Amino acid sequence: MLSSHETSSTTSRTSMDLGACSNKNVRFCGPEIEPSSGFQGEKSLQPAYYKSANYWTTLMTGFEPPVAQDPGSKQRPGRFFLLTCLVSLALVLATAQYNPLQTLNLHQLPQVLSRSVFAETDSTRSLTEDEVEPSQLSASSRTPDVQFDNFSLILKGQRVFLYSGEFHTFRLPVPSLWPDILQKAKAAGLNALSVYTHMGLINPAPGVVDFNGFRALQPLYDAAREAGIWIVLRPEAICMKGRRFNLVQYINAETTAGGIAHWATSEVAGQLRTNASDWRAAWQDYVQGIIKVTAPNQINNGGPVIDNEYSQNPISHAEYFAELEDVYHNSDIVVPLTYNDPGEGRNFINGTGAVDLYGLDSYPQGFDCSNPTRWNGVTTNYHSYHEQVNPSQAWYFPEFQGGSFDAWGPNAPGYPGCRVLTGPDFQSVFNLQLWASNAKLISYYMLYGGTSWGAIPFHGVYTSYDYGATFTESRELTTKADELKRQALFLRSSPEFYKTNWISDSSTGLQASTNSAAFLTLLQNPDTSAAFYIARQASSTSTATTTFKLNATVSGIPVQLPVVVPSITLGGRESKVIVTDYSFGESSKVDFSTAQIFFAGTIDKRDVLFLHGNSSQDHEAALKLTGRPNNFHNTPASLVKFTNGTDGLAQSSTIVSFFSGIQGLVTVWDSDTQLVLFADSETAATFWAPVIAGRSSDPLRNYWGIGTNETILVGGPYLVRNASISGSHLALRGDLKSGVRLTVIGPKAIRSVSWNGETVTPDLSAASTVSTSGAFVGQLGLSKAFNGVTVPKLTGWKFKDSLPEIQHSFNDASWTIANHTTTNIPLKPYYGDGRILYGCDYGFCENTVLWRGHFTPTGAEKSVNLSINGGEAFAASAWINDVFLGTSFGNSSNNANIREETDDKFTFPPGALIPHKDNVITVLQDNMGLNETNGANTDSSKSPRGIRGFKLDSNTTFGTWKVQGKIGGYNHFPDKVRGVFNEGGLFGERQGWHLPGFSTKGWGARDLSSGLPNNAAGVGFFVTTFDLNIPKDLDVMLSFTFEEPLGQPYRAFLFVNGWMMGKRVGNLGPQAKFPVHEGILDYGGKNTVAVALWAMTPNVTISPNLQLTLDGVYDGGVGNVVTNNPQWSAIGRN
């Protein structure tokens, strides 16, 4: 259907969804790597702006059949992901000659060594090696140190529940800040992170592999070791010192071309991501480069990802997977192979390319952030599907929904809506539904989204990749972090949960609930009989309150729970884990608990149990209380009741009933052998369980169960990053956002406590109300610098025109002649004279590209037709000589939809042509990123960005076409630090006007809010500088915010100290705020901000109001942050 376009004189075609270096042959750039370990990660996400279920259904046909959902939920389309990777668990320890059992008493290494192999754990229950029968293990691994059976992953004979989150280092291009994300993940209780690498950034040109700067892997591996967290590759890949590597060419991840190097999309004639010989040649350097960087870091192991979002069918060529497998098997990598299926497609379980461990990706909530309270029901067939396809393997979810992307448009809700859509209630219901399916390996996408700066995003999304994730784009914790921590610390504390049989649920005959409105699933450990009843609303979208009693078995005796309080309560959109016969610490036992378990383990030889629950509900637990009780004074008699065992429970058990109204921390039992605590769930979320490192000579000293078995509880601070004990002194490091009461439960030998180096005065009276042994209470205050942070106004702007190309006299002799008549891009031109005007074919794939078409008019010419492809939300402006013709927008006149390409007729104004002389059509277009893979069409990343049709309305033909993108194209771009995606083809960018140190002497003074002179259409550069003097030991979040209302027809490319940190589309939105981190900003010096302002419509008010805004201040921080902002140089700019 054709529709009029308001900025040009004719029609617009609705878009279709289109699909110093070593080695003589390979320019391998990167620092020398010291032997240690390595392994990097990978992700996947379907193409981008999924506006409707119909779109999704069409896109996914044949790849994801419908899955079962609970009653009343609407059918939804799925997401199409797949990722193959190699799991490496030759656990580091072999070559290191390190045996944890020589250092730690086996009795203190429960199934825990498993979970602690990935993270800190507190449980100290022992697990003997013979609990895992060798005959039950997978024999497919090339190393005996990593195995799996039908229950879980097994490392060094120990079980592991892998609990992970996704983090893309390239979306946080400040390596000094990577430890911040790892420390926060560790503090939240996760035991691993999944990390993608990006072929397009690491392999920017044929024969070039670059691991410098933000592309490096070594800083990530080192930070992981220091944090005591494992870097996992989509599956459970582990390497030495918490490291692993990623060998993937395709990641999707809402990134341009899905991560494939741009040069490959035009230079490879064969089909991408198949066994085509030229595609095989294209990925070799990248894969071998990853192996070269990683091999020295591993200890007898490795763990590469092979590929992402792929299907096992003749169209996609499963032989491609087999080729990749051969590369890894012929290297020094020793791993089993795993795969994550985009949907329940049963791919790569058998047949060509079949892998050792199958996994499933799932995004059950969908991506409608505009209606965040409208839920889909939980998927109910996860368990049955697992039993059908791979019952002999552990149940693995390499990607489970942890947020949502957002798309272009003035009606886009922004990421706050996405954070509500996948908020704490979603985590409670949907995450626990995964647990109920008996999944034991889970990674959430995303944990931290970050920023798609420069040309990183694909065309469906904007600069922010906040994703509504657990941590914001600015790195702040959200309420999602509270719920994730409550879940993760329960898992860390519960090794019995790592080996469970799925017994039954309410749909298959489990008669456990007295109310059919409550849906229950029973999992049980076959060795200890510990049982886990996972409860939710039968209609998982329900917001009603449901009460019920549970018919359970405790120590072999039927019991109806709870005993004293009236019932178990489920709030709307709430799930719970109710345990029976649950062991904790050295020798303690919980008969049952309807309260949730936050922490269970041993602290200073005392068994510690920390329960929590909603303060508006009743809760109950029964346990055997041991030891000589101490005096304590904070148990409110009206809210906590003690009853001797009854109704089938042993008399030696004590039933502790918690009535609604409890707020704050309550000490339930305090003896020389046990400490039992209860708090409302919000108070519990203010507690942390940092690990105390082992001996300093141990490289694995920060890994729970391997290098240490010591932990403490710390309550109050916004974040606890680290805890260490020296003699009788406890040193804590972390962040505050306000003054708080500090509560520590630790060794009784502690006599002094410091916070970020400052001694904390103890409150002995308050401490005694928590415990008479091993408790410390004090007050933490903010530093003097905290309230003194201010940011300057952005003033003193200098201006210069940045579009000399529209002048008839402009000399384009040095530009590339666009004379190709063939292309490897499958979508061919619509019309013209046979020449191909696709930017990637000439080395210009990213950001802005300029075209100049020369012709000599006869006098009959009245207009030119141009079909332009720039991706969703693009724009292109056209001039004849220096006369503006119009702008073609990649969005409809009412911004109701987003177009990938347009077809416009531009009419020549009277007098615009110069008769019988050379005339020039100049087109400035914005490239919004290349397509991801669309279904089975793996060549859809070969996007025809450029001019797909050009025609004058007479018989006149064009002479020469010239093209210019970023200076140097992808082969010779000068800024190797910021990389291939940072710049576009604007004149000011090619000259380096955006870089710090460029002299604006001689430029005119003009405020950015004044727009371009004479309200003209065109491009101008605005540059200013400002100083920052932010005190050390503060973590300050800053953004650049466009404060004018949405609707003005302009684009602004925001450069901060040379880095393109934002693309503002003033007429489309939604993004107006662009977070920029320390490290890009110099918090103790001079900063340069440049804005390339593209006014797309003349004679209208365009007045950007850009301000530096303060988003958050935290006392503490991650430590010294290094800047790497090279100054302007003329080299390579001419």
* Domain final residue, candidates 415, 449, 470: 470
pLDDT at res. 902: 96
pTM: 0.89
Report the range of poorest mean pLDDT among 435-439, 519-523, 700-704: 700-704
Given pLDDT bands bounded at 50, 70 and 90, which one contains residue 53? Answer: very low
Helix, strand and coil content of the chain, in percent to the nearest 5, comes to: 15, 30, 50
1029 in the same domain as 886: no
992 in the same domain as 883: no
Mean pLDDT of 329-357: 72
Predicted confidence (pLDDT) per residue in 270-289, tens digit: 999 888 899 999 999 988 88
pLDDT at res. 699: 79
In this model, does residue 235 exceed pLDDT 90?
no
* CATH code of residue 354: 3.20.20.80
In this model, does residue 1047 exceed pLDDT 70?
yes
Phi, psi of 458 (to 5 degrees): -85, 175
Contacts of 841 (CB under 8 A, 6+ apart): 266, 820, 823, 824, 825, 946
Q: Is residue 856 part of a domain?
A: yes
DSSP state of 567: -
Predicted confidence (pLDDT) per residue in 358-395, tens digit: 889 999 999 999 999 999 999 999 999 999 999 999 99
Which of 31-35, 333-337, 636-640 has the largest mean confidence? 636-640
Predicted confidence (pLDDT) per residue in 679-698, tens digit: 999 999 999 999 999 889 98
445 in the same domain as 377: yes
Quick check: 931 and 459 in contact, CB under 8 A?
yes
3-class SS of residue 776 = strand
Quick check: 217 and 247 in contact, CB under 8 A?
no
pLDDT at res. 249: 58
956 in the same domain as 940: yes
11 in the same domain as 43: no
Mean pLDDT of 1042-1070: 97
In this model, does residue 2 exceed pLDDT 90?
no
Contacts of 765 (CB under 8 A, 6+ apart): none
Q: Which residue has the higher pLDDT, 747 or 62?
A: 747
Percent of the chain beyond pLDDT 90?
A: 70
* CATH code of residue 767: 2.60.390.10
Q: Is residue 943 part of a domain?
A: yes
pLDDT at res. 490: 98
Quick check: 242 and 230 in contact, CB under 8 A?
yes
What torsion, rounded to 10 degrees, do the Cα atoms 130, 135, 137, 139 define?
140
In this model, does residue 8 exceed pLDDT 60?
no
Q: Is residue 568 part of a domain?
A: no
**Chain mean pLDDT for the chain:** 84
| Rounded-to-integer distance, Cα 362 and Cα 365, Å | 9
Total structural domains in the chain?
4
53 in the same domain as 13: no
Report the range of poorest mean pLDDT among 215-229, 907-921, 1043-1057: 215-229
Percent of the chain beyond pLDDT 70?
A: 81
Predicted confidence (pLDDT) per residue in 463-500, tens digit: 999 999 999 999 999 999 999 999 999 999 999 999 99
Report the range of poorest mean pLDDT among 18-22, 675-679, 796-800, 828-832: 18-22
Q: Is residue 586 part of a domain?
A: no
In this model, does residue 114 exceed pLDDT 50?
no
* 3 burial via Cβ count (<10 Å: 0-12, 13-18, 19+): exposed
Q: Give catalytic residues, as residue numbers.
A: 309, 399
Quick check: 886 and 923 in contact, CB under 8 A?
no
Report the range of poorest mean pLDDT among 12-26, 412-426, 986-1000: 12-26
Predicted confidence (pLDDT) per residue in 564-603, tens digit: 999 999 999 999 999 999 999 999 999 999 999 999 999 9
Predicted confidence (pLDDT) per residue in 393-432, tens digit: 999 998 999 999 999 999 999 999 999 999 999 999 999 9
* CA R_g for the chain: 30
* 601 burial via Cβ count (<10 Å: 0-12, 13-18, 19+): buried
In this model, does residue 109 exceed pLDDT 60?
no
Contacts of 130 (CB under 8 A, 6+ apart): none
Q: Is residue 479 part of a domain?
A: no
Q: Which residue has the higher pLDDT, 336 or 220?
A: 220
pLDDT at res. 970: 95
824 in the same domain as 792: no
Q: Which residue has the higher pLDDT, 301 or 91?
A: 301
* Domain final residue, candidates 964, 998, 1023: 964
Q: Which residue has the higher pLDDT, 667 or 301?
A: 667
Given pLDDT bands bounded at 50, 70 and 90, which one contains residue 637? Answer: confident
Mean pLDDT of 65-88: 37
Domain extent for 272: 39-470
In this model, does residue 111 exceed pLDDT 50?
no
pLDDT at res. 657: 98
Given pLDDT bands bounded at 50, 70 and 90, which one contains residue 134? Answer: low
* CATH code of residue 886: 2.60.120.260
Mean pLDDT of 798-815: 96
What Cα–Cα distance (Å) separates residue 420 from each residue in 4, 431, 599, 661, 889?
38, 15, 27, 26, 32
1036 in the same domain as 952: no
Predicted confidence (pLDDT) per residue in 184-193, tens digit: 999 999 998 9
Mean pLDDT of 802-827: 97
Given pLDDT bands bounded at 50, 70 and 90, which one contains residue 116? Answer: very low
CA end-to-end distance (rounded Å), the chain: 45
770 in the same domain as 796: no
pLDDT at res. 651: 81
In this model, does residue 173 exceed pLDDT 90?
yes
User: Position of tokens 């029609």?
Assistant: 11
Encode 1015-1064 in three state secondary structure.
HCCEEEEEEEEEECCCCCCEEEEEEEEECCCCCCCEEEEEEECCEEEEEE
407 in the same domain as 280: yes
Q: Is residue 34 part of a domain?
A: no
Q: Is residue 978 part of a domain?
A: no
444 in the same domain as 385: yes
In this model, does residue 700 exceed pLDDT 80?
no
Please name which of 851, 978, 998 lies closest in space to residue 927, comparing C-alpha atoms: 851
Q: Is residue 530 part of a domain?
A: no
Helix axes 218-227, 178-187, angle to 10 degrees: 30
Mean pLDDT of 42-62: 30
The strand pairing partners of 1018, in sequence order, are 1095
Predicted confidence (pLDDT) per residue in 241-257, tens digit: 233 333 345 678 899 99
In this model, does residue 66 exceed pLDDT 70?
no
* Domain final residue, candidates 451, 470, 489: 470
Residue type, 595: A
124 in the same domain as 247: yes
Given pLDDT bands bounded at 50, 70 and 90, which one contains residue 707? Answer: confident
Answer positive or negative: Cα dihedral of 554, 559, 562, 563: negative
Given pLDDT bands bounded at 50, 70 and 90, which one contains residue 296? Answer: low
